[in-house]
Structure 1
Amino acid sequence: MDEKKKLINWTAGISTVIVALLIIIVVMEPRGNGVSRAAASRAIALTLAGEDAVRAEGPETSFFPGELQDQWYVKYMDYLYAKGYLDPETCYPSEGSAVSAVTYGELSGWVTAAKGEGEPSLAGYVTEAAGKKAGKAVDKAEFWEFYDAFRAFADPDGNVKEIETDLYGTPGNVDGASPWTAYTKDGKFLFEGLSLDSYIDKTIKLLVREDGIIKVQGVVSDEIVYENAWISGFSGNTVTVFIGNIQREFPVRGVLKNEEEISGQIGDLYLKNGKPSRLVLKKETITGTVLSVREDEIEIEGYGTVPLSEDFKIYRTYGVLKEQKKSDILVGYHMQTFVVAGDEICAALTTEKPEIDNIRVLLMTTNFKSLFHPEITLVCDSMAVLEYGDEKDKKTQSVAAGEPVTISAGDSRLESGRMVFRSANEGGMITVRNIERSQGTPVYPGHMEITGEEEGLLLLNEVDLEEYLKRVVPSEMPYTYELEALKAQAVCARTYAWRQIRGSSYSEYGAHVDDSTSFQVYNNTSVFDTTDAAVNETFGQMAAYDGEPIDALYYSTSCGHGTDGTVWGNDGSATPYLKAVSINEKRKPMDLTSNEAFGAFIKNMDVEAYDSEFAMFRWNAKTDSQILAEKIGGVGQITGLTVTERGPGGAAKALKVVGTEGSKTFTGQSKVRSVLGNTRLVFNRKDGSTYTEWETLPSGFIYIENQGTDENGVTAFTIYGGGYGHGAGMSQNGAQGMAKKGKNYKEILKFFYDGCEIVDIGDVV
């Protein structure tokens, strides 16, 4: 339903409320202080749109003079000027106008603007009635009564929400705080034009839209508890407390005597009317390797599964003190001290920089179909140990070399938690007999962990990171490639793995990654001397940008031009090192965003590129309306396909499908590739070979030609394409082409990841 229809369908009940409300406002004199036009404009603007939309939909040129354009209220009043809610002729854009009280005339104008042409009799009444004292200031209480009614019809989707939160601080009590920033237990909010200092250390109700506070509804309680706060210092009668990433000082005279009792601990600070009444320290701690992190519990080696308190906190206490997120707890590592109280973990203290040296991999079933196994059979080439049972009754079973151990779903040995199968000798290798890979039955270093889930058994391989990479690199790049290309792949793989270890994708299962293409393919092929050398010769090296490991994306083959980080629909600002440039020595961006330019480019078989000699550099396939109808419905007989939007480098971002009964548009490279792909298509590659059985197109770098409609009404299309993969980051075959031309691995990486540096894994925080 469009906006005009929504407004016309404004209910009679709401109309009655607004009419009655405006009658009250018009006939009564203001009873107290008014509301500034700036604050009122902000409230109305944020009711109509979010902060980003307010900025985007404002005028191209501000109504305000240049010297005022950095004032907080300008964007909101500009938005209302642009939308017709304020008239720059009668409400001149100036500082004086902004600080003046909003008037009755403006309230009636806002109702008229919000209603558009709907309910003309009400709009006429409001305009005529308000005209009797249009210039009079509106009393504050009356304005907020009006606002509540206005919000009821102007924000039917409930974007403005009421929340209850604790207010920690504002720029008034936080050194270095950003202007108009409120620190609460629910995060940071902007409170432009409001006064919040009197609400600090209270529980309050707020009206908010996204991260902007529109109004303080009231105080819920003047008694507050800062639970699980980090006590960072004690001097004399003053305690320094770290709350919500800010430092606060409180007088605690008579509570504790000396610094040794209090500093560097977790505690609950009780306040009433802003003054401390009690400080309860929590001194009991536990430590151990984290085995899994779930929504409301953490599994710790030696302690089993321990529940989290409702107000669980995480603090990094080394380097710069900061509050962290639960995702910062890395499974498989021992870098936190856990503070417990009442059989719950109330806080985690990250006491040291993580030394990333192991990775935990979930091994999928044959053909990577599932994470969950009905049965698992393990064999070690040396004496092995099987451990199971709870922490109080741990059982250890010796297993002879070559003796199989089989665990089935429902095995009683899993009732107390995970089972661990490890070699008793360093360097022992474990075969997983129930899995088949390209190399046959795979053999793994490290140890295995088995857990029982509702869906079946999970099999986890914890392995040294460098050993993992020796089985990733040959699975991702042919071992016959040039050593410098393999070394570039090894650095990419290590960087990618580091980010996944920190990312906690599978923390609920105690893992970092799985072994499929969803992450990096692991141990699908055998190890080779060449790929081992590539890993060894780049030991511990990663690619970083501004000191942070990059998102080391890679793909098989380019079309001669790459794309940037916008390929998945975001703005690309998080990956400035991914550039849309030609994949040749010139490394220049080309404008391939029009169908004409891209069509000429992709049909040119002689484009110069580092990977132009590879079969997938150019390809084409024929499809028709009947094949397309297997995935695309609702448009009748398909008669046309057009790429309506292309991203940097020419990758298709939007595809319009036209049929005899309508049209549809599909957006996003992955979606476009999926709807056009079909296992029946035959792909003709540059080297003259063909390939089929692809469910999706090899890439989104495509140009489509309509070949006409036959006597049966079937329309044929030719899809011209290039490359294999998403096109962002390193082309693996491009890396091979560069290596053949004498480029070393660092040159290759800096070509594909603009501005990156090669750093040691131990130097990254």
Structure 2
Amino acid sequence: MNKKSLIGFVVGIPLLVIVLIIIILMNEPEPEGISRGLACKSAALLLTDRESLEKMQENQKQQYFSKQDQSVWYAKYMDYLYANGYLDTDLMPANEETAQGLLTYQEAESLAEALVPGSGKSIHGGKKNKNKHITADEWWYLFEDLTKALDKENQIKTMDVFLYGTPSNIRPSSSWTAYTSEGTFGFEGISLDSYIDWEVKILVKGSEIISLKEIVSDSVTYKNVWLTAGENETFQVHFGSAIRTFPLDASLGQAEDLVNNLADLSLKRGNLQKVTLKKKRISGKVLAITDTSIEIENYGKLKFDKDFKVYRLYGQFEERTISDILVGYDIQDFVVAHGKICAALLVREFDAKTIRVLLMNTNFQSIFHPSVTLSSKTGLTLTYDKETVQIPPGAEVIIEPSDERLKSGRIVAAPLEKGGSIEVNSINRSYGTPSYNGTIEIRKDSDGLLLINELYLEDYLTKVVPSEMPDSYEKEALKAQAVCARTYAYRQIQSNTYSKYGAHVDDSTRFQVYNNLPAAVKTEDAVRETYGKLLFYGDTPIEAFYFSTSCGHTTDGSVWGGDPSQYPYLDGGLLQDGGAVLNLSTNSDFEEFIKNKDYPAYDSSFPMYRWETTVTNRQLEEEITEVGSILNITVVERGVGGIVKKLRVEGSEGVMTISGEGQVRAKLGNKYMTITKKDGTQMKNFDSLPSAYIAIENQGVDDKNITTFHIYGGGFGHGVGMSQNAAQEMAKEGKSYEDILQFFYHEVRVCEADSVKE
């Protein structure tokens, strides 16, 4: 090679490299941007949630997008930002082209500055780049900084989920709905279809996905899904509320072996790789449930699988929750694998034949007992740790926490003869030593012994009705009470309040008072003559609330702060024929009403129809400690019938609001109080106001700087549903128990559960 050629080679190689680099750079794809609509969606969700935005859009007077574009997904997010000054229509016009176009550096800076002043400087592109598109990565880095500044309550969360469906593969389904292992989410403006059957990391606010952050894995295993038959050589897989269809490949076996079973499904890049069936099932009465385990009769305690599921197989298939497994009932099968419960299969409908009651100690102070003493006139059988022993009639059995017979966790006592009862000698009730039908289960807990009385629901009611309503009352009133008590118990069994202890209710006023007074022939007849009857609104048993005495007017279901539309049958009214509704929302109107001791109502003859009491600020300050010395108390909101929903308490060190009838009664009541009833008799040692139907008069300050408040009140109880004393008067007037119930609970039916199912 001559000198000239060598020089050309040396110079040419670098030039060729530079040319190649230029070509590569010129052909390199531009970094992916982010649409203005999606950026605005993420910005808006820093400040509010999708559901609130949808409501705002309905009520918003000024609409920025055209009528045609108002229904497009991005409109509500951008409208919110326009309306609140975070977006400028001059910089970012409200139209489809703008929303679907890519966000620029200038637009990103302006939006960020509007959200958090100073934050836009981090992506300042300068004049040269202001109209260039910001990359998606740059926007999401900026979004992280905005989140730190604005999401003080950590409502924006990162989740790893299995994505098992979108409208592209699940039909029918709502648009922009993603079905995942963590629930159902919206994903407006985001492309997810390519990641079905992948594990992905998402950013969410409430029920809306903000962004797809990263791919975690292209392999997934769906645990404990339910398989059913499909059509044309397919089978169906139930994922929560969604159903997927898969081809029935020969390698999977015969359809009859596959369907109606629990399984794990393994997929890679959307292709089904393996189906692992779980066929072992057990059944038995459920004795107790916690968040991590279940106790089943004859099987003991078993832990739940990490991906434990509950499926209802009877009627319409549905995925349910752990709260739908009822203690005391054998209405479900359990699928077991590797020593753990993988799923509960609800195979029969709940029939409410029995109830399990936690018996509290004397004076109803605790559910725990230091020891238990039992006996029976007919003798007892004790069953524990697969042993059964007999106890002679009248002999006492004493059980303490250290008792060896409790090593398996529980002892079950039953009368030796059918129809016998068990005396619990270690507790007292109003009539002395209580006796119980059914069985008594003694369970060991770290805090003491638990006593659970399991018995037929109808037997339970014979000892609830006389404890809740005097047996001297009219038969039709007692029958109304029996139906209320049965409906209330039905709902409580389903609510599973005491499932961790293996019970449904306790025997105190927290639920229904049980066996505090002996059963009577009249109350037993009332239960028997209404056997199985419940109160239904549509096809659902109602919340059959009841209370002692009204002030002449009942209230609605919002008294505890909830939505009254949840209880359409509880709307409140006057306790007179016709049941009109008075407007008692102002203090002056209610004061006139409550000071009238003879206002006509069904229960106006009862002493607690009207009552009065006096209380001082010093007495109230023992309970109300937040405002210093109390200067004044004012009712600022009343509900239906004039019941107090909110009180304003002014003090030397501030002002506070007391909300809800329960809090009003508790905060204004005190141990010094003397209640003077309508008939002039007095009631003491009662540290809560009888009701929240009250008017308050500030009687001024005395020479000792003590402020006195006089309270005019009416009624006894929360005022929702049936007044028991009004029911008594209605029965005296000749009204039937159905008439009474349909007066207090509007548009309900009185019938047996079986007739509703038909």
Is this contact kept in 1: 2:198–2:220, CA < 8 A? yes
- Say which SS state the counterpart of residue 483 (structure 2) adopts: helix
| 2:612 corresponds to | 620
In 2, Cα distance between equivalents of 1:749 and 1:62: 49
Is this contact kept in 1: 2:105–2:129, CA < 8 A? yes
Is this contact kept in 2: 1:292–1:510, CA < 8 A? yes
- 1:60 aligns to 2:60 (yes or no): yes
In 1, Cα distance between equivalents of 2:586 and 2:649: 18
- 1:419 aligns to 2:411 (yes or no): yes
Q: How much has 1:237 moved relative to structure 2?
A: 5.0
In the TM superposition, what whole-angstrom CA distance separates every residue of 1:623-673 from its partner, at most 9, and x where no partner exists? 111111111224332211111222232222222211223222222221121
- Of 315, 325, 335, the residue aligned with 2:311 is 315
- Of 456, 461, 485, the residue aligned with 1:464 is 456
- The one-letter amino acid of 2:595's match is K
Is this contact kept in 1: 2:223–2:263, CA < 8 A? yes
Q: How much has 1:519 moved relative to structure 2?
A: 0.7
Q: How much has 1:576 moved relative to structure 2?
A: 1.6
- 1:357 aligns to 2:353 (yes or no): yes
In the TM superposition, what whole-angstrom CA distance separates every residue of 1:506-542 from its partner, at most 9, and x where no partner exists? 1111111110011111011111122111111111011
In 2, Cα distance between equivalents of 1:346 and 1:635: 53
Question: Which has the higher mean CA deviation after the structures are superposed, 286-295 or 729-738?
Answer: 729-738
Task: Work out the percentage of aligned pairs sharing the same amino acid.
Answer: 45
| 1:154 corresponds to | 150
The equivalences for 1:509-524 within 5 A come to 509-524=501-516
Q: How much has 1:65 moved relative to structure 2?
A: 4.4
Q: How much has 1:57 moved relative to structure 2?
A: 6.0
- Say which SS state the counterpart of residue 539 (structure 1) adopts: coil
Q: How much has 1:756 moved relative to structure 2?
A: 1.3
Is this contact kept in 1: 2:116–2:146, CA < 8 A? no
Q: How much has 1:272 moved relative to structure 2?
A: 0.7
- Say which SS state the counterpart of residue 279 (structure 1) adopts: strand
Which TM-score applies when normalising by structure 1?
Answer: 0.91
- The one-letter amino acid of 1:159's match is Q
| 1:228 corresponds to | 224
Is this contact kept in 1: 2:185–2:207, CA < 8 A? yes
Is this contact kept in 2: 1:255–1:279, CA < 8 A? no
With over 3 angstroms needed to count, the CA separation of the structure-2 counterparts of 1:245 and 1:404, relative to structure 1, is same
- Of 475, 498, 503, the residue aligned with 2:495 is 503
In 2, Cα distance between equivalents of 1:365 and 1:501: 22
The equivalences for 1:21-60 within 5 A come to 31-55=30-54, 60=60
Question: Which has the higher mean CA deviation after the structures are superposed, 464-473 or 725-734?
Answer: 725-734
- Say which SS state the counterpart of residue 164 (structure 1) adopts: strand
In 1, Cα distance between equivalents of 2:731 and 2:110: 69
Is this contact kept in 2: 1:707–1:715, CA < 8 A? yes
- 1:164 aligns to 2:121 (yes or no): no
Q: How much has 1:254 moved relative to structure 2?
A: 3.2
In the TM superposition, what whole-angstrom CA distance separates every residue of 1:174-208 from its partner, at most 9, and x where no partner exists? 11112222111111111122221111111110100
CA RMSD of aligned residues (A): 2.2
With over 3 angstroms needed to count, the CA separation of the structure-2 counterparts of 1:397 and 1:179, relative to structure 1, is same
Question: Which has the higher mean CA deviation after the structures are superposed, 623-632 or 86-95?
Answer: 86-95
Question: Which has the higher mean CA deviation after the structures are superposed, 38-47 or 97-106?
Answer: 97-106
With over 3 angstroms needed to count, the CA separation of the structure-2 counterparts of 1:341 and 1:747, relative to structure 1, is same
**Structure number with bigger Rg:** 2
| 1:761 corresponds to | 753
Is this contact kept in 2: 1:567–1:669, CA < 8 A? yes
In the TM superposition, what whole-angstrom CA distance separates every residue of 1:693-746 from its partner, at most 9, and x where no partner exists? 111111111111110111111111111111111111111122222222222211
The equivalences for 1:160-309 within 5 A come to 160-233=156-229, 238-309=234-305
With over 3 angstroms needed to count, the CA separation of the structure-2 counterparts of 1:269 and 1:655, relative to structure 1, is same
| 1:748 corresponds to | 740
| 1:486 corresponds to | 478
With over 3 angstroms needed to count, the CA separation of the structure-2 counterparts of 1:691 and 1:212, relative to structure 1, is same
With over 3 angstroms needed to count, the CA separation of the structure-2 counterparts of 1:133 and 1:585, relative to structure 1, is farther
In 2, Cα distance between equivalents of 1:90 and 1:276: 49
- 1:87 aligns to 2:88 (yes or no): yes
Q: How much has 1:559 moved relative to structure 2?
A: 1.5
- Say which SS state the counterpart of residue 374 (structure 2) adopts: strand
In the TM superposition, what whole-angstrom CA distance separates every residue of 1:405-436 from its partner, at most 9, and x where no partner exists? 11112111001121111013211111111111
With over 3 angstroms needed to count, the CA separation of the structure-2 counterparts of 1:227 and 1:763, relative to structure 1, is farther
- Say which SS state the counterpart of residue 449 (structure 1) adopts: strand
In 1, Cα distance between equivalents of 2:603 and 2:126: 72
- The one-letter amino acid of 1:76's match is Y
- Say which SS state the counterpart of residue 382 (structure 1) adopts: coil
The equivalences for 1:704-719 within 5 A come to 704-719=696-711
Question: Which has the higher mean CA deviation after the structures are superposed, 744-753 or 330-339?
Answer: 744-753
- Of 576, 580, 590, the residue aligned with 2:582 is 590
In 1, Cα distance between equivalents of 2:366 and 2:644: 31
In 2, Cα distance between equivalents of 1:320 and 1:758: 26
Is this contact kept in 1: 2:105–2:124, CA < 8 A? no
Is this contact kept in 2: 1:251–1:276, CA < 8 A? no
With over 3 angstroms needed to count, the CA separation of the structure-2 counterparts of 1:30 and 1:280, relative to structure 1, is closer
In 2, Cα distance between equivalents of 1:453 and 1:127: 60
Is this contact kept in 2: 1:108–1:130, CA < 8 A? no
- The one-letter amino acid of 1:79's match is Y
In 2, Cα distance between equivalents of 1:572 and 1:631: 30
In 2, Cα distance between equivalents of 1:127 and 1:413: 73
With over 3 angstroms needed to count, the CA separation of the structure-2 counterparts of 1:253 and 1:328, relative to structure 1, is same
The equivalences for 1:513-552 within 5 A come to 513-552=505-544
| 1:332 corresponds to | 328
| 1:106 corresponds to | 107
In 1, Cα distance between equivalents of 2:408 and 2:631: 61
| 1:7 corresponds to | none
With over 3 angstroms needed to count, the CA separation of the structure-2 counterparts of 1:573 and 1:93, relative to structure 1, is farther
Is this contact kept in 2: 1:655–1:672, CA < 8 A? yes
| 1:348 corresponds to | 344
Question: Which has the higher mean CA deviation after the structures are superposed, 280-289 or 129-138?
Answer: 129-138
In 2, Cα distance between equivalents of 1:764 and 1:256: 43
| 2:5 corresponds to | none
- Say which SS state the counterpart of residue 481 (structure 2) adopts: helix
Question: Which has the higher mean CA deviation after the structures are superposed, 183-192 or 736-745?
Answer: 736-745
- Say which SS state the counterpart of residue 607 (structure 1) adopts: coil
Q: How much has 1:46 moved relative to structure 2?
A: 1.0
Q: How much has 1:31 moved relative to structure 2?
A: 3.4
Q: How much has 1:585 moved relative to structure 2?
A: 1.9
Question: Which has the higher mean CA deviation after the structures are superposed, 268-277 or 588-597?
Answer: 588-597
In the alignment, structure 2 segments of 5+ residues that lack a partner are: 1-27
| 1:72 corresponds to | 73
| 2:624 corresponds to | 632
Q: How much has 1:555 moved relative to structure 2?
A: 1.2
Q: How much has 1:289 moved relative to structure 2?
A: 1.1
With over 3 angstroms needed to count, the CA separation of the structure-2 counterparts of 1:595 and 1:383, relative to structure 1, is same
In the alignment, structure 1 segments of 5+ residues that lack a partner are: 1-28
| 2:20 corresponds to | none
With over 3 angstroms needed to count, the CA separation of the structure-2 counterparts of 1:496 and 1:222, relative to structure 1, is same
- Say which SS state the counterpart of residue 252 (structure 2) adopts: coil
In 2, Cα distance between equivalents of 1:494 and 1:395: 35
Q: How much has 1:616 moved relative to structure 2?
A: 1.2
In 2, Cα distance between equivalents of 1:567 and 1:60: 31
Q: How much has 1:500 moved relative to structure 2?
A: 0.9
In 2, Cα distance between equivalents of 1:68 and 1:557: 57
In 1, Cα distance between equivalents of 2:95 and 2:601: 58
Question: Which has the higher mean CA deviation after the structures are superposed, 46-55 or 242-251?
Answer: 46-55
Is this contact kept in 2: 1:289–1:301, CA < 8 A? yes
With over 3 angstroms needed to count, the CA separation of the structure-2 counterparts of 1:721 and 1:519, relative to structure 1, is same
| 2:17 corresponds to | none
With over 3 angstroms needed to count, the CA separation of the structure-2 counterparts of 1:725 and 1:75, relative to structure 1, is farther
- Say which SS state the counterpart of residue 597 (structure 2) adopts: coil
| 1:408 corresponds to | 400
In 1, Cα distance between equivalents of 2:433 and 2:231: 64
| 1:18 corresponds to | none
- Say which SS state the counterpart of residue 46 (structure 2) adopts: helix
